[in-house]
Amino acid sequence: MKLIQSLVLLLMSTITLAQTKPVEKFQSLPFGAIKPRGWLKEQMQKDVDGFVGNLDLIVPDLINDPIYSTGRLQKHSKVKDLGNHKEGDVAGDEQYKWWNSETQSNWWDGYLRNVFLLEDKKGIEKAKKYVENILATQDEDGYIGIYDKELRYNFSSENGELWSKASLYRGLLAYYEYTKDENVFTAVKRAVENVMENYPFYASSPFYSGTSFNGGVSHGLTFTDVLERMYFHTKDEKYRDYALFLYKDFSNTYQSEADVQLKNILDPGYKLKSHGVHTFEHIRTLIIAKYAAENSELTNALDIYLERIKNATTISGGAIGDEWIAERNADATHIGYEYCSLQELMDSYSLLFQKTGKAKIGDDIENIFYNAAQGSRNPNHSCIAYLKTDNSFEMLGTKNGETEPDRKQTRYKYSPAHQDVAVCCNPNAGRISPYFVQNSWMKENETTFVAALLMPNVLESSVNGNIVIIENITEYPNQKEFKFKITQSKPSGFTLKIRKPTWVKKIKTNEVYRIENDFIVIERTFFTSDVINLSFETEIQVKKDNIGSHYFTYGVLLFALPIKAKEIVGKIYYTKFTDFTYEPFLKTRYLFKNNEKFRYKNGFIKTKLINQNTNKIEKVELIPIGKTILRQTTF
Ligand SMILES: [Zn+2]
């Protein structure tokens, strides 16, 4: 009897254990708690003065379409002319109806975050007016969206119901977090309730949409971003539970972008094949579902999914997005990545970092931002590449000159809008810096701050009600010295955890510290005005990519050989905003030379490579990929 009793007890405790939701390691901070400084702030100001701040003038028809208000979609709404070429488009016309909601909401999300972080008064006024106008569209039942009463929540085919909301509400919540305007929070809360009432919990199928292409429905899975943030504010489990329900429904319905479906993840023979952006944004849903679930099946699924994504990621952090993954592995010359994918993968890794506290994920985030993303910006003009490759031998529209049988490829160029394809990447290029900044500091508990990502920035937070300001004064990633300047109203004791990147060979500081899971932990009493000086030493690393080509890194930065090119002016959108393409003057390629010396000096890696045309050894100077247009990165 006793044995049975203890067995029952053991079984019960096992059940209790299995039913515990996983513990989250760090907490994220409200948007606006961290602001950019130094070169990063200057770059964001340039963006606001450039295409990020002017997209409404560059593509006015798309931004001014009253899709959330007087122009809501109805049963007989016509497909819109968005100014893009549609030949070779496998996805069909239905998606064009909702496209402007994504363009507008992602753009506004990035725009308002930038102007708040830059404390740009004019921009903040503009954002305020936008939010007031959006709130005025809310129906009595709480609906804020793009469909009229007859159509909403009532679909059997492709639609943008949840996607148009996810992209919009993310921006509204950021606005609330910065301004603390309770009206905005109440409006979003009511709008989310409206979704939960009309797609009842386990009694509806929000992702049912027939058996044809449904990219908009599939993007709608990012509605879990909104639910996650609602949970962050309210700690109400119903939002996470609803997110888990959405993931399950997504997994059990037909999806054209199906990589994240549970059955596909658990199928050992399955290879990623979906539209890249979807695959990478859906990581967040899987993370949120895992932390909402009371079993370990999703933990296993997340591990498998992340491993698959690693194989689809190039050395710069750019994951395949040109545009379907199509069961391929990453490649420096033949596989492109979409700017949207960079933002989505970076944002997903940021959430993963917050939940797991694993320092290595910080390296992945910095790799995407400092290499792939900086390397897809045009260093001389306000525009970005829609698609880019690590080895970029020409930017004349196609992927290094490769022709595609079923479409005229024009994405490999620099543009302030890319309207001929889709205005998706430029809005996301406006989101990436504010999101990068937002995740750079986290808290582990009331008295522990975590410098998760390294960059010039300033954090304003508190320890037990005492306001603490920490400014990271640095030229990182171009330099590796940091001065953490601490200001508070009275001396107090707290802990500072600074992520130690994997490439650090030596830490230099006068502080007493310990290393804990790749974090430098400094625990002491700080004065009202205090400073921590810290620097990292590193060495050039020569590594091999998945096909055996060599590449050079120094610290977080990936280095490349720049290729001189002729700049060709393309479509002129509005005043200074212009498309540019680039044709190389020479088609020389270089090979790696074994046993050659290399050294780092003043921002350059100096070494020798073999000129493939002449077979001669030449002295070369490599520069960070983020400063290049055309380049050879692997040798
Ligand atoms: Zn895009």
Helix/strand/coil for 48? helix
Bridge partners, 211 (sequence order): 209
Bridge partners, 560 (sequence order): 623
CA of 44 to the centre of ligand 1 (A): 20
Strands 457-463 and 34-36: antiparallel
CA of 281 to the centre of ligand 1 (A): 12
Sign of CA dihedral 477, 482, 483, 488: positive
CA of 229 to the centre of ligand 1 (A): 24
Q: What is the pLDDT of residue 586?
A: 95
What span, in angstroms and rounded, lies between the C-alpha atoms of 431 and 434?
A: 6
Q: What is the pLDDT of residue 413?
A: 98
Q: What is the pLDDT of residue 95?
A: 85
CA of 175 to the centre of ligand 1 (A): 24
CA of 428 to the centre of ligand 1 (A): 7
CA of 395 to the centre of ligand 1 (A): 17
Cβ neighbours of residue 39 closer than 8 Å, sequence gap 6 or more: 456, 475, 478
CA of 338 to the centre of ligand 1 (A): 6
CA of 180 to the centre of ligand 1 (A): 31
CA of 477 to the centre of ligand 1 (A): 26
Alpha carbons within 13 A on the beta-carbon side of 471: 11
Domain residue ranges in the chain: 59-256, 442-537, 540-632
What span, in angstroms and rounded, lies between the C-alpha atoms of 351 and 306?
A: 13
CA of 421 to the centre of ligand 1 (A): 9
CA of 23 to the centre of ligand 1 (A): 34
Q: Model-level pTM? A: 0.95
Strand order of the β-sheet with 384-385 is 384-385, 414-415, 577-584, 565-574
CA of 387 to the centre of ligand 1 (A): 8
CATH class of 442-537: mainly beta
The H helix count followed by the E strand count for the chain is 17, 25
CA of 140 to the centre of ligand 1 (A): 34
CA of 398 to the centre of ligand 1 (A): 16
Distances (CA, A) of 558 to 140, 446, 604, 605, 634: 53, 36, 11, 10, 10
- Residue 241: which of 481, 21, 70 has the closest Cα? 21
CA of 322 to the centre of ligand 1 (A): 10
Q: Which two tokens stand for residue 588?
A: 């020389």
CA of 427 to the centre of ligand 1 (A): 8
CA of 608 to the centre of ligand 1 (A): 37
Q: What is the pLDDT of residue 323?
A: 86
Strands 617-624 and 577-584: unpaired
Q: Which two tokens stand for residue 208?
A: 């049912």
Helix 182-198 and helix 237-251, axial crossing angle in degrees, nearest 10: 40
Alpha carbons within 13 A on the beta-carbon side of 409: 22
CA of 43 to the centre of ligand 1 (A): 21
Instruction: Report residues of the chain scoring pLDDT below 50.
Output: 1-3, 7-17
pLDDT digits (tens, 9 = 90+) for 209-223: 999 999 999 999 999
Dihedral over alpha carbons 350, 356, 359, 361 (to 10 degrees): -40
Alpha helices in 258-313 (DSSP H): 262-265, 276-292, 297-311
